[in-house]
Structure 1
């Protein structure tokens, strides 16, 4: 007898197919039937697991969060982290298979402005990345630097804005940065330039 697919794994497979479809055709090209075709499953399978389009989009957001969190864990090695590993994480988001996820995430971002539940799913991995960035930020600062929380917060905002813009360019196929080493140098330069400003806490 043919074994019935595990429901959890089937939902993951459908979400993975939906992520690929979303990245390739945008949110307007997303439908239950198209996900069935991309996943290679019988028609009606996706609508059985996700009754509405909103339910499907929320499931995609949850799956992206799950995948992003798993990837983020690879940045921390034996409880330590570094700016180079942060740069590696960002660069990975610009190449496959993670580039597809980056594009799908941007497609969902505008949808999330009208769906609080989806926004919450997307925010979880964003917050985790922000926390990781704060932990690594000290390694980009000059040795012995003592900064107020306001300066560190502002520097983090500047750096994360730069990273988000870089990821958006990656999503559009613009490889403006070619290597982890180059990105690491750029982030260090941004930190140094910011800290030499006359009023770094009021950028």
Structure 2
């Protein structure tokens, strides 16, 4: 099934985002509000199909928008009522938001999925009114043995993200990241929580 096959059945269809690999629409199908991500060109169809494959896995752990349809050249997932992290994060809520992201990054590491964008979470993380975070845009993700989700997120925290936190020992956090990079185990991951719980 291709997007063109169901497009006429979608009510209130609106284009809400465009990238060089695809377009994102919002609309209602069978009374369900969905986001539709459609490959912009045939060459990007494999990216869409890979994203569907990854969403099926991470959804089992409460990560990402809930996949509803995996089409040939599109995916549809439950529409997320949220705003980009950049518009929401502040000194009052940063600990709660980053704690969630760390947990999800750790799960991705355990699953062997590298998201590739955890060092710049501003636009590929949505936050709803209850401060629940949702990772989006898994099109660049890949299965890998060189997993960097947690360590990339730490890069963000040490750099741009540090302005949201009280002063902390960056060197200790960097050292914890180095240990985790070598030994991706629960006990090495816990070192991060000293800073964020």
Give the TM-score range, shorter chain.
0.3 to 0.5
Higher strand fraction (1 or 2) = 2
Instruction: Give the TM-score, by structure 2 length.
Output: 0.33
Structure with the greater alpha carbon radius of gyration: 1
Higher helix fraction (1 or 2) = 1
* Higher RCO by CA contacts (8 Å cutoff, separation 6 or greater): 1
